Every structure is written in structure tokens, then in C-alpha cells.
């Protein structure tokens, strides 16, 4: 059995998040000891892993709770759960594409800084010096 602290470290989430998810009923298999301390087995970790990924896709806690309830209802809800996962997959794919654009931008920016440091380009990265660099004041609209 794992403690809140163990699970938080294992899943790279905060202890507060673990408690919040369990309090919201997103981990139906969580157990309690005689002191009412949360205890987690592998099934609980599986639930939390799923919750973590659904949350990262932007799914609300309420919608995750609906998904958990569908899971608990059993096989009759497979089609509904499939639709939920497909929608979240599309959202995750869009997030991935956006992240790729961000990485590309940052790579280009880093390469530009290398060019500046190697004397291949002027330092045009500081907006405070653009007037000096381009020898004319900015003309706003």
C-alpha cells in the first residue's frame, strides 16, 4: 500500500492534488486505515494515472467524475467511454501540435542567439535597442 506522499512522488503530482482527486471521488478504490489515512493500491494508482492524463487534456473534474462513474457502471458504457477518450485524444493531439510549434520557435530563437554571440547577426533581440539598430523610431498606427 502507498501513502499520499508515495503516490504524489510516483505520479509527479502534488500531495494536495492526490487528496483533492480522492475527495472528489475520482479514485473509487482508495482505502482508509483506522486513522482515516488514505491508502493506495495498484488499482488506485491506475485510477489516478488516468485522472492525471484526462486532466492534462483539459478535462474538468466534473467530466472526469462522469467518466469514472461510467467506468464503474461496467461494459454497458464502453461506447460512451470510447467517445470520451476519442475527444480527449483529439485535444491532446492539438496540444502536441501547439507544443511542437513552441519548440520550433524556441529552437529558432536559440539559434538566433548563437548567431548573435558568434558575431554572425546583430543583436536585434532587445526591443529597447531597436530604434538604435534600425536608426529610426518606431511608427505606431
Task: Report domain extents, the chain.
Answer: 4-91
Q: What is the pLDDT of residue 79?
A: 97
Is a pLDDT exceeding 70 seen at residue 123?
yes
Q: pTM score, two decimals?
A: 0.72
CA distances from residue 35 to 21, 31, 32 in whole angstroms, order as listed: 20, 11, 7
pLDDT at 132 over 90: no
CA 50/CA 113 separation, integer angstroms: 40
**E strands along 15-115, which residues?**
31-32, 38-39
Of 3.30.70.920, 1.10.1660.10, 1.20.140.10, 1.10.287.130, the CATH number of 4-91 is 1.10.1660.10
* 16-34 CB burial, b ≥16 within 10 A, e <16: ebbeebbeeebbeebeeee
Using one digit for the tens of pLDDT, what is the confidence trace for 8-67? 999 999 999 999 999 999 999 999 989 999 999 999 999 999 999 999 988 999 999 999
| Portion of the chain with pLDDT greater than 70, in percent | 91
Residue 126 confidence class, pLDDT cut points 50, 70, 90? confident
Q: Between vectors from CA 7 to CA 28 and to CA 66, what angle results, nearest 5°?
A: 30
CA dihedral angle for residue 106, residue 107, residue 113, residue 114, rounded to 10 degrees: 160
Confidence of residue 81 (pLDDT cuts 50, 70, 90): very high
Contact 5, 18 (CB under 8 A): no
How confident is residue 136, by pLDDT bands cut at 50, 70 and 90? low
Amino acid at each position: 500500500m502507498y501513502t499520499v506522499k508515495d503516490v504524489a512522488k510516483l505520479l509527479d503530482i502534488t500531495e494536495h492534488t492526490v487528496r483533492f482527486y480522492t475527495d472528489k471521488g475520482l479514485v473509487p478504490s482508495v482505502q482508509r486505515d483506522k486513522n482515516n489515512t488514505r491508502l493506495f493500491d495498484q488499482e488506485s494508482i491506475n485510477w489516478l494515472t488516468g485522472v492525471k492524463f484526462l486532466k492534462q487534456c483539459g478535462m474538468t473534474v466534473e467530466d472526469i467524475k462522469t467518466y469514472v462513474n461510467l467506468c464503474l457502471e461496467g461494459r454497458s458504457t464502453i461506447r460512451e467511454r470510447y467517445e470520451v477518450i476519442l475527444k480527449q485524444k483529439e485535444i491532446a493531439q492539438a496540444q502536441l501540435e501547439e507544443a511542437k510549434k513552441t519548440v520550433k520557435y524556441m529552437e529558432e530563437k536559440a539559434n538566433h542567439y548563437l548567431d548573435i554571440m558568434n558575431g554572425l547577426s546583430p543583436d536585434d533581440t532587445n526591443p529597447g535597442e531597436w530604434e538604435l539598430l534600425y536608426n529610426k523610431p518606431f511608427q505606431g498606427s
